[in-house]
Amino acid sequence: MVLALVAMFELDTRQVDYNIAFAQASIKEDVYVTMPRGFKPSDTKNDYVLKLNKSLYGLVQSPKAFYDHMRAGLKEMNFVTSENDPCLFIHKDMIVISWIDDLVFVSRDGSKIDEMVLSLKALGCDLDKEEGSGLSAFLDIQIDRTEGSIELSQPGLIDKVIRYTGMQDCNTGENTPASVTPLRTDSGGEPWVGAKENREYAAALGMLMYLVNHTCPDIAFAVNQCARFSFGPKLTHAKAIKRIVRYLQATRTRGMVFSPTGEIIVDTYADADFAGLWAVEHEQDPVCSKSRYLLELAGCPISWTSKLQTEIALPTMESEYIALSQAMRELIPLRRVVAEIASALGIEASSECRTHFKLFEDNNGALTMAQVPRITVRNRHFAVKYHFFRNHVSRGDIQVLKIDTTKQKADMLTKALVDELFVRLRLIIMGW
Verify that 192 and 100 share a domain, yes or no.
Answer: no
Verify that 123 and 226 share a domain, yes or no.
Answer: no
* Residue 367 domain-assigned (yes or no): yes
Q: Sort strands 357-361 and 266-273 into parallel, antiparallel or unpaired.
A: parallel
Verify that 318 and 358 share a domain, yes or no.
Answer: yes
pLDDT of residue 386: 66
Verify that 267 and 410 share a domain, yes or no.
Answer: yes
pLDDT tens per residue across all 432 residues of the chain: 899 989 888 899 999 999 999 999 999 899 999 888 888 777 767 778 889 999 999 999 999 999 999 999 999 999 999 988 999 999 988 999 999 889 999 999 889 999 999 999 998 888 888 776 678 888 889 999 888 889 999 999 999 999 999 998 888 777 899 988 888 888 778 877 765 667 888 999 999 999 999 999 999 999 998 998 888 889 999 999 999 999 999 998 888 999 988 778 889 998 887 766 656 665 555 554 556 668 888 889 989 988 877 776 777 788 888 888 888 888 888 888 888 888 888 775 444 444 478 889 888 888 888 877 666 655 655 555 667 787 788 888 888 999 988 888 988 888 888 899 999 999 999 988
Q: Which residues contact 43 (CB under 8 A, 6 or more apart)?
A: none
Whether 400 contacts 371, CB under 8 Å:
yes
What is the CATH number for 396? 3.30.420.10
Residue type, position 101, single letter = D
pLDDT of residue 286: 52
Verify that 410 and 327 share a domain, yes or no.
Answer: yes
What is the CATH number for 111? 3.30.70
Query: Which of 190, 220, 250 delimits the end of a domain?
Result: 250
pLDDT of residue 194: 60
| pLDDT tens-digit series, residues 32-62 | 998 888 887 777 677 788 899 999 999 999 9
Verify that 88 and 187 share a domain, yes or no.
Answer: no
Kindly report whether the global pTM for this prediction surpasses the value 0.75: yes
Q: How far apart are CA 20 and CA 259, in angstroms?
A: 37
DSSP for residue 169: T
Verify that 279 and 245 share a domain, yes or no.
Answer: no
Query: Which of 186, 217, 250 delimits the end of a domain?
Result: 250
Instruction: Tell me which long-range contacts 305-312 makes (C-beta under 8 A, separation of at least 24).
Output: 305/220, 305/413, 306/212, 306/220, 306/221, 306/223, 306/224, 306/413, 306/414, 307/224, 308/224, 308/228, 309/272, 312/286, 312/288
Verify that 131 and 176 share a domain, yes or no.
Answer: no
Query: Which of 87, 114, 139 delimits the end of a domain?
Result: 139
* Domain total of the chain: 3
pLDDT of residue 273: 78
* Residue 226 domain-assigned (yes or no): yes
Residue type, position 109, single letter = D
* Residue 255 domain-assigned (yes or no): no
Verify that 275 and 412 share a domain, yes or no.
Answer: yes
* Residue 318 domain-assigned (yes or no): yes
| Domain enclosing residue 288, as ranges | 263-430
* Residue 257 domain-assigned (yes or no): no
pLDDT of residue 275: 60
Verify that 287 and 426 share a domain, yes or no.
Answer: yes
Strand residues in 127-199 grouped as ranges (E)? 127-129, 137-138, 141-146, 149-153
Verify that 134 and 195 share a domain, yes or no.
Answer: no
* Residue 209 domain-assigned (yes or no): yes
* Residue 144 domain-assigned (yes or no): no
Burial class (CB within 10 angstroms; exposed 0-12, middle 13-18, buried 19+) of 374? exposed
Verify that 44 and 177 share a domain, yes or no.
Answer: no
Cα-based distances in Å from 232 to 59, 136, 190, 193, 276: 35, 40, 11, 10, 23
* Residue 148 domain-assigned (yes or no): no
